[in-house]
Structure formats: structure tokens, C-alpha cells
Structure 1
Amino acid sequence: MERKRKILVVDCQLSSCERLRKLLTVNNFEVETTGYGQKALQIIQDVKFDLILCDYRLPDLEGNEFFEKASAIQSKALIIFISSEINLRNVVSLVRKGAYSYLAKPLNPNELLEIIEEAFSSGESLKSKEQCAGEKEQKGHQSTLQNFVVGRSKSALNVLKQVKRVGPTNYSVIIEGETGTGKESLARMIHNESPRKNMPFIAIDCGSISKEISGSELFGHEKGSFTGAVSKKTGLFELAEGGTVFLDEIANLSLETQMALLRALQEKVIRKIGGTKEIPVNVRIIAATNENLQEKAEGRGFRDDLFFRLSEFVLKVPALRERKLDLPLFIDYFLEHTAAELERPIPVLSEEVKEYFQEYSWPGNIRELKNVIRRACLFVANDNCIYLDALPASVLRSENTFSDKVDAPSPHNESFQNSSNIQNESADLKSTAFHAESKKIIEVLRQVHFNKTKAAEMLNIHRKTLYTKLKMMDIQY
């Protein structure tokens, strides 16, 4: 039986504890909460936790003191700090000591879940490295970092060569690639190749924050500077001092925020929203986009002066369909990783599935492959083999390949057939409308190579509405 990850939430605000408990429990974590640091230390004396989510300012302990004591009790537990007011000096100190990350309140649920998953993946990768130090040479050119695998294909090796070339510099970098190609992981590799590797790496998805608050997220704000600014906020640029800021989907920033970003790059100073004081900053910018930023700049959808300032080095990440030589490497990695997480034997793919994977176009790239593998590992047949019926309907019903094989359900997994065969589901009006809507969304996503911003525009719905519908459809691209 799969062991649930255990998370301890330490927050003096009971409402915050309850919200986090509900969020994490729904996402299959085992959660305990407390409002006091000393009580948390007592709890971890008796119970082993995989991760501790702790407010920096507790009634009885400061973050640094709690971190030192908690680490001494459970050295392998990952610790993430949260706070509404983060002191830069304390943050840098905690990261240097070994805290995994820190997040500003109010928390974005999706961002929190992504950070937690990333923390677990990072911890397992490190453990694997320590246990299997000699295996890399036997497997050829392979580098695993934060769930990013560099393969053996010519294009993959070229990407790795460019990372090693630009990493040690202070150049601003634009990473271009389709959704799911691993742009953030690649940015982390660049950061780890640089002299800034021991300083913070802070990532922000520019597409997930509204244009109204993007300036506040990046540069901070003063108390009372706008409605809802009930306290002073430290922006990501200050928090990343000496390190790297990764701006994913940078094309979504408003022109006003783009102007402020350009000034920060050129003058190396920022100004909080509502503030008058200029604050010196020393950060490296790595931006990512799944659009052609140069074309957007030429069409005045993006500031051309900012594009030229950012594009000191442009790195293009190939789509998975363009590097099928690396597909078996990714498959093996995700199978091993998921089997370890589920504490089960590593399954094998049937020849039919291997052939299907090779012919499928993978519009969601590495992220789609990872999700497909993780889901399929829950429907392994009794012979520890993954057959076609273990794959998601959205993949099996692709117009790319094997439509004749999909119509004939495999006998290996009866429970999956009952849950996934759309033909057998209720034919009521609500169900019919849901399937029609799902089919249309998948069709548009494939058309725009899973660029959610473009898909939302084509579907004439808000981006957040699209995210909600994808979650209901159990699609996580």
C-alpha cells in the first residue's frame, strides 16, 4: 500500500492551519498542525515527517532557532518557511543553512503544491545520487536535476553544452520552448553552474499572477500603497539578492511591469510600489517563454528594448517529439521515480505501449510524459506490466495513432476500463456536455501546443477558468 507523505504545518493562525490541512489532505498528504514551535519540536520527537511547513514568526520561537532545533531532531525532513513579512537577511541565512524554500503569504495553492512536489523530487534525486554515484557513467550522458534529464540525443547534448557555456557568466538568458519541455529545470541548471549557486533561486510564473499585482510580487510594496496592502511586502528581487530570478511565461507581464523590469536590469535598482526609496539589487534574470518573444516584440505585444536586454543569450529547448532518441531514458527515469514513491517494483511497458509512445507526438512534452507514466503506474497489471488500457483517455483518443487499438479494451485491468471508458459512462445531459467540453478543450490545447494562455483566448474564457476545468478533467499540463 502506498505510504502517504507526512507534512507538519506550524502556524499560529488557526484559520491558516485549517486551510493548509484541507488543501494538503485533498492532495493525498497526511497532515498534522500546531500553532507553536515548541509543540512542533515535541511532535517531531515522536513522529517522522517528510516535510515541515513553518511560519517564520511563531509566538514562542523565531524561524532560525526553530530550524536549528528541528534539523537536529529530523535531519532529513525538508523545511519550507512561510511569512507575511520576510526579512531578507534571515531568509538568506536560512537558505544557506539548508532550508528548502520560503514563500510569501498569502499563499498561492498551486504554487505551494508545486514547491512541495519539487522539494520531494529534489530530496529523492539527492538521495539517489548518494547511493548510486557510479551509475551515471554507465548510462552515458545523463544529468538529473530537479526532475530534468538531459539525454543522449544530439539536440540534448547541445543544450547541455550551452548551459555549461552561459552558466558561469552573468548574462541574462531567455529560454524558449513549448510547454512542458523543462524550462524551469533548465534555468536551475544554469543557476547551479554559476557563481551564484549558493544564493537564492526564486521562480515565478508570470502567467499565474494578475497583471495588477505582478509589480508588487516582483518589487514589493509599502503598507497602504493600494487597497489590500495591509502590510509592507518584500518583493522577489530583494529576496533573491545575490542569486537568480526565473520569470516563467514572461510574455504575460503588463507593459507597465515590463518597464519597471527594464529599469531594474539597466540601473540595478528597484522601487517598491508606493515607495520613494531606490533599493540596489544584484540578481541575474533568466526568462522563459513558449511564444516567439521577438515576433511579439515586433508586433508591440512586448517591449522590444526589454527583449534586447534580456536576450544576451537565447537557449532553445527542443520538443520531445524532436528528440525521440531520449524517450526511453525519460520513461525509465519516471518509472523508477514513481515506483520508488509508491514503494512498488519498477513496472515494464508492454511492446504495444512502447510502440505507441514512439509514435505519439507528445504535445505536452516531458511534463505530459511524466503525468502519463505516474498515472499508468497506478494501473499496473498483475504481471507488473503496463498495457494500453492503463493510459489516459486523452492520450489514447489522440488523432495521432492507434485509434483501432483503443476501441478494443484490454482485459488486463477491469477497474480501469470501468472508470475510463467514456462509452460506458452515464449518457445524461450533464455528462454529455462535460465530455463535449473536455474534447473541445483538449483539441484546442493540442492546436496551440498546450500554451494555456493562447488556449484560453481561443476558447474565450479566463485563464483561471481553464485551469479549473483542466483540474476537473484530471489534466495537468
Structure 2
Amino acid sequence: MSTVLIVDDEEGVCELLRDVLEDAGFETWLAYNAKDAIEILESKTPDTILLDIRLPDADGIQLIEEFKNMGIHVPVILMTAFGTTEIAIQAMKQGAHDYLNKPLNLDELLITVQKAVKMQQLVSEVATLREELDHEADSVDNLIGQSRHMQDIFKVIGKVADSDITVLIQGESGTGKEVVARAIHNNSRRRNRPFIKINCGSIPEHLMESELFGHERGAFTGAIYQKPGKFELAHNGTVFLDEIGELSPHTQVKLLRVLQEKEFERVGGTKCIKVDVRILAATNRNLKQMVEEGNFREDLYYRVNVVNIKLPPLRERKEDIPLLLNYYLSKSARKYNKDISGISKEAMAVLKNYNWPGNVRELKNVCEQAVVMSRGPAILLEDLPLSGNGDLVLGNGNANTSIIVNNGRTLKEIVADVEKQVILKALNDNQWNRQETAKALGLNRRSLYAKMKEYNLL
């Protein structure tokens, strides 16, 4: 559901706008002054902001700049009872999306808000696509390994890439399942077509069908325009179903039809849409066992498990650790503008002997922290996040040390760093099992996923 923050010191105006917008399918948040608006924006990001130009504690035009400084880059629609050419020019120069004169024309307001929200969603989609493209370019290099396990996997990728055969990639969290999926796509005849990733564990069940297959305008509350789904966007390309074991029985039925018939309807639609897509899937769960327990459809299992690639955990291919360390240390050194040329034998020995419950993803995070902590051209033992008994942890196992090292940062940045440390430790304690980690932290799986995405732990 799209969200609108309404900022106006007149309570009656706020309530009127709330009623109009909520009747049109929007969720609204109300603020009667700049202070309240800023407090809301510190924890929430709306799709657009309706802002009165004269507030008791701030000037609306100047407040737009404050929003930008907070990292809030959403369309702002100014409302004013003092419409002049000068105000219009100032508003546009400051970056306002539009401005409306009071008394408000509610039809005009609704159209303006709908346009602003749609524009913001398009901007987000473009940003997501750019991130996907950057990730894709980077992911090719991440497929690293000289071990027998990895060499066998490279051979399978080479054999299946140019066909449209469905592949199921299995492995523990952090082993690089998405990297393998991208390698298959990048070496296929579809390489110049979309690669659309769908994380089946992060999308709420009530939104899943719309995300996969799209919806028509008016299909449900908040559907103010027609939206294509992921399968439609992936036409002639590849759909990667990550964490496919998290799909509900209802969605499994819908997916099976797409795999069999190559067609579907948008939610609320009657037109049959045909697509040409290649399906790749991944899971860290035992799908065969789920089938036996009645939690995963047997017919869908055999549809996705035509070719099976099993990624080994990092502890079973330790000969690849030096290669991976070299890659991620070099990458982190470039990121943080550090001159790192190597790693000491003592540090290498600790890293090679570690069990790596978080697999390659954990190794990547350890490399990044070691580069940040280093004070010379080589990574030393003291640069590694070690506990008193020599185990790897995040933050050196000492919160005070972490705070001292990060001196000069804001409280918000320090708290975020500590939160990341706690989450990473919980992931390690639970062998990167997200369900158990979420339970240990008192979170649901989707909240944990959101935090892992925020802190680059995916």
C-alpha cells in the first residue's frame, strides 16, 4: 500500500486529507508541525509528502532541504494559501514535486498525489534495476574456486547454460547460490535479457501473487494503476526463485501452472499473458523431505529439480579460502581506499582453520572488517575479529573497543554497527539458519531478512 505523510498545522485539514486519501487506497501518517514530521521520517519513508508551506515551527520550502539532509528523497507537494509567482519559483528551485493552492481542489490533489507516488515507484524500480545490473557485473567475478567441488560445478554450469533446462541450486546460506544462478544466466543465450530475482522468503504471502504475476488497476485496495509482475518483466530472460521452499501451497499451485503452460493472468485480470522465461531456483532446505512431509508439491519439485547443483559449504573446500581472501581483501581495500597488499601467515592460518558457518558471505564480512581495522599494508592477526579463545566474532567481542574505534561517528551509526554485530553473531551461533536466528533474536523471518539486507549480510 502506498503511503503519504501529511504535514499541516490545521487539524481539520489533516483529517480531511486523510479521509480522502485513505478512501483512495493510501495509508496516511499525520504531523501537525515540522518537529513531528521529522520524528516520523526518522523511522518511516513515505512514497510522497503533502507539506503546508507555513508551519508554526518551520518554513515548508526550507524544510524540503532538511528532508534531503536526512536522506529522504521522495516527491514533496507543497500546499499554500499564499500562492504567488515568487513562491512557485522558490518551491520548484528547492526541489518540490508540485504545489497546490488552498482552498484545495480535492480531485486535483488526488491526481497530483497519484502521479507523485507513481513517479516515486518508477524511480525506485530504476534504482533497483541499476543495483541488479551492478550486482550482475560484480557477481561473475565472485564465482571463485580451484577445489574439485567447484571445478565440477563449473563443468555443470557450462553444460546447462545454453539450454533452457530448469536448475535447482541447493546449499547452505551464504554458499553463493545466487552467484551460480547469475553465472548460468550470463553464459546462456538469454544473457542480454532480464535476470529477475524473486526472494520467496521476503515477500508477504498476501502480496506474493501480485509480485509474481502483477495486478490490474482496482484489483484490490491500493491498486491505483496496472502493474506488471516479475514474470512479465522477465519475458525472454531468466527468473531466479530464491528460497523456493518458502512458497505457500497456494503460490506453489500458481507457479506450477506457469512452469507447465507458460501463461498466467494478472490479479484482477482476465487476459491470459504468455511468457518465455527460463526458471532457476535455489533453496537451503531439503525439498525432498518437505515433499515427504506434505509441505511442498511433488509435481512442482520434479518440475524445478531437472538438474540439481549442490554447493558445498566453505568448510568442505578450504583450499579455496586463500583465493577468496585475496579477492575480498582486494575488493574491500579498494572500497575503503586502503593499501593492502597481503595477509600474515598467522592470520591466514586462523582463517583457514575456522569452520565458517556463514560460508562465503561470512568470509566476505570478515575481510571487510579486517581491512577497516588494519593499520598497515598487510592484514595481521590483531586485525581479525577474534574473541579471547581465538574464535572469529564481529566487533572483537568487545563493545567498548568497537565504540572507541568508531569515535567521531554519530550515536545512530554506532547503534547500527552494534546491531549488525549482534545479528551476525546470532547467525553464526545458529549456523546461518535464518529461522532459528530470527527466533533467537525475537524477530520474524522477514524482519531479519530486512535487517540482513540493510547491513549487507545477504
Please state which band the TM-score falls in when normalised by the shorter chain: 0.5 to 0.7
Q: 2:313 and 2:419 mapped to 1: Cα distance?
A: 29
| Matching residue of 2:148 | 154
Deviation of 1:235 after TM superposition, in Å, equals: 0.4
| Matching residue of 2:431 | 449
**Deviates most, 454-463 or 220-229:** 454-463
Deviation of 1:122 after TM superposition, in Å, equals: 5.2
Deviation of 1:118 after TM superposition, in Å, equals: 5.6
1:237 equivalent in alignment to 2:219:
no
Check 1:470–1:287 CA distance in 2 against 1; reply closer, same or farther (3 A cut): closer
| Matching residue of 1:384 | 377
Deviation of 1:360 after TM superposition, in Å, equals: 0.9
1:317 equivalent in alignment to 2:311:
yes
Q: Secondary structure in 1 aligned to 2:192?
A: coil
- How many equivalent pairs are there? 353
Q: 1:453 and 1:151 mapped to 2: Cα distance?
A: 29
Deviation of 1:224 after TM superposition, in Å, equals: 1.3
Deviation of 1:391 after TM superposition, in Å, equals: 2.9
- Provide, for residues 292-326 of structure 1, a one-character-per-residue CA deviation record: whole Å limited to 9, x for no partner: 11111211121121111111111111111111111
- Contact kept in structure 2, 1:347 and 1:380, CA below 8 Å: no
| Matching residue of 1:250 | 244
| Matching residue of 2:180 | 186
Stretches of structure 1 that go unaligned for 5 or more consecutive residues are 1-12, 36-57, 60-82, 86-102, 126-144, 409-413, 421-430
Q: 1:212 and 1:230 mapped to 2: Cα distance?
A: 17
- Provide, for residues 23-60 of structure 1, a one-character-per-residue CA deviation record: whole Å limited to 9, x for no partner: 8x59xxxx99999xxxxxxxxxxxxxxxxxxxxxx99x
- Contact kept in structure 1, 2:213 and 2:266, CA below 8 Å: yes
Overall identity of the aligned pairs, in %: 38
| Matching residue of 1:289 | 283
Deviation of 1:399 after TM superposition, in Å, equals: 7.4
Deviation of 1:151 after TM superposition, in Å, equals: 1.0
Larger-Rg structure:
2
Structure-2-length-normalised TM-score: 0.66
Check 1:20–1:464 CA distance in 2 against 1; reply closer, same or farther (3 A cut): farther
Check 1:470–1:205 CA distance in 2 against 1; reply closer, same or farther (3 A cut): closer
Q: 1:337 and 1:147 mapped to 2: Cα distance?
A: 11
Stretches of structure 2 that go unaligned for 5 or more consecutive residues are 1-46, 51-63, 78-96, 99-116, 407-414
Check 1:166–1:223 CA distance in 2 against 1; reply closer, same or farther (3 A cut): same
User: Which amino acid in 2 is paired with 1:369?
Assistant: L
- Contact kept in structure 2, 1:84 and 1:233, CA below 8 Å: no
User: Which amino acid in 2 is paired with 1:288?
Assistant: A
- Contact kept in structure 1, 2:387 and 2:397, CA below 8 Å: no
Report 1:80-91 matches (<5 A).
Answer: 84=118
Report 1:51-70 matches (<5 A).
Answer: none
Q: Secondary structure in 1 aligned to 2:294?
A: coil
| Matching residue of 2:195 | 201
- Contact kept in structure 2, 1:179 and 1:364, CA below 8 Å: yes
Report 1:26-425 matches (<5 A).
Answer: 84=118, 107=124, 119-120=133-134, 145-381=139-375, 383-392=376-385, 396-397=386-387, 401=391, 418-419=404-405
User: Which amino acid in 2 is paired with 1:345?
Assistant: D
Deviation of 1:275 after TM superposition, in Å, equals: 1.0
1:476 equivalent in alignment to 2:457:
yes
Check 1:254–1:162 CA distance in 2 against 1; reply closer, same or farther (3 A cut): same
1:464 equivalent in alignment to 2:441:
no
User: Which amino acid in 2 is paired with 1:452?
Assistant: R
Check 1:160–1:475 CA distance in 2 against 1; reply closer, same or farther (3 A cut): closer
Q: 1:334 and 1:312 mapped to 2: Cα distance?
A: 33
RMSD, matched Cα? 4.2
- Contact kept in structure 2, 1:220 and 1:273, CA below 8 Å: yes
Q: 1:304 and 1:397 mapped to 2: Cα distance?
A: 46
Q: 1:21 and 1:159 mapped to 2: Cα distance?
A: 47
User: Which amino acid in 1 is paired with 2:243?
Assistant: E
- Contact kept in structure 2, 1:456 and 1:462, CA below 8 Å: yes
- Provide, for residues 164-223 of structure 1, a one-character-per-residue CA deviation record: whole Å limited to 9, x for no partner: 111111111110011111111110111122221121111121111111111111100111
User: Which amino acid in 2 is paired with 1:466?
Assistant: L
Deviation of 1:340 after TM superposition, in Å, equals: 2.4
Check 1:435–1:195 CA distance in 2 against 1; reply closer, same or farther (3 A cut): closer
User: Which amino acid in 1 is paired with 2:216?
Assistant: E
